[in-house]
Amino acid sequence: MKFTFTEENLKRIEQVRKKYPTALAAVMPVIYIAQEQNGFISNEVMEEIANVLDIDKVNVLSVVTFYTMYHTKPMGKYHVQVCTNVSCMLRGAYEIFDLVKDKLGIENMQVTQDGKFSLEEVECMGACGGAPMIAINEDYYENLTKEKVEEILDSLK
């Protein structure tokens, strides 16, 4: 499917480009803008990013595939990220992870059938003092218990 940026996003891209002396340097923020508009980064999206910035598509590809926050396939409306790194693990992160898996009926990096939830086991999120923690889309939830996690997930249904 052909992808084109909205007028508004093209303006944002113009603004972003002013922060850097080269067009290539704008690639990360532009990928974010594209992901926001399209939900994920498909082949066509990468082509359009390359197009807009007048850079080689391989440059876009090599950046998109390096980072965990750029998604090359659609994620759920609510992307649930559970940190299981050491500080969270010491405070029961794996129990939280298993609970979310059971409750949503999906494995790591899968999406529920209705497209509502997706799950990702993530590395330290810089919230170790609030362990265990999860993030849903852009929001952090800290100092969790299993009950609280259930409550949060239920409130999103």
Partner 1 sequence: MERIVLPQIENLHQIDVYLANHGFEAARKAFSLSTDDIIDQVKKSGLRGRGGAAFSTGLKWSFMPKTTDKPKYLCINGDESEPGSFKDRQIFEFNPFQLIEGAIISCYAIGAKVAYLYIRGEYHKWINLMQNAVDIAYERGFLGEKMKETFGTSFSCDLFIHKGAGAYICGEESSLMNSIEGKRPYPRVKPPFPAQNGLWGNPTTINNVETITNIPPIIRNGWEWFSKIGAPKHPGTILFGVSGHVNKPGVYELPSGTLLTEIIENYAGGVLGGKKIKCVIPGGSSMPPLRGDQIEGVRMDAESLKEVGSAIGTGGIMVMDEDTNLLDVLIRITHFYHHESCGQCTPCREGVGWMEKALKRIKAGLGTSKDLDLLCDVANHIEGNTVCALGDAAAWPVKFMITRFRDEFEMYVNKNVVIPVPNKVHSMRDTSIPLASIEK
Footprint of partner 1 on residues 92-121 (CB under 8 A)?
Answer: none
* 51 φ/ψ angles, rounded to the nearest 5 degrees: -60, -55
Of the pair 59, 87, the CB lying nearest ligand FES is at: 87
Smallest distance from partner 1 to CB 142, Å:
10
Smallest distance from ligand FES to CB 100, Å:
14
Footprint of ligand FES on residues 108-127 (CB under 6 A)?
Answer: 124-127
Residue 73 to residue 51: CA distance in whole angstroms: 21
- Rule CB under 8 A: is residue 59 a binding residue for partner 1? yes
User: What is the token pair recorded at 15?
Assistant: 């603004």
* 127 φ/ψ angles, rounded to the nearest 5 degrees: -135, 30
User: What is the token pair recorded at 105?
Assistant: 């009926």
User: What is the token pair recorded at 68?
Assistant: 């965990």
Q: Give me the helices (H) in the chain, please.
A: 7-17, 27-38, 43-53, 57-64, 86-90, 93-104, 146-155
CA distance readout (Å), 111 to 31, 77, 120 = 22, 9, 10
Stretch near partner 1 under the rule CB under 8 A, chosen from 98-106, 111-119, 133-141, 144-152: 133-141
Residue 43 CB neighbours (<10 A)? 12
- Rule CB under 8 A: is residue 66 a binding residue for partner 1? yes
Q: Which does 152 bind (CB under 5 to 8 A by kind): ligand FES, partner 1, none?
A: none
For binding to partner 1 (CB under 8 A), which residues are involved? Answer: 19-22, 24-29, 31-32, 55, 59, 62-63, 66-70, 84-87, 89-91, 122-131, 135, 138-140
The residues that touch ligand FES, with contacts defined as CB under 6 A, are 83, 85-88, 124-128, 131, 133
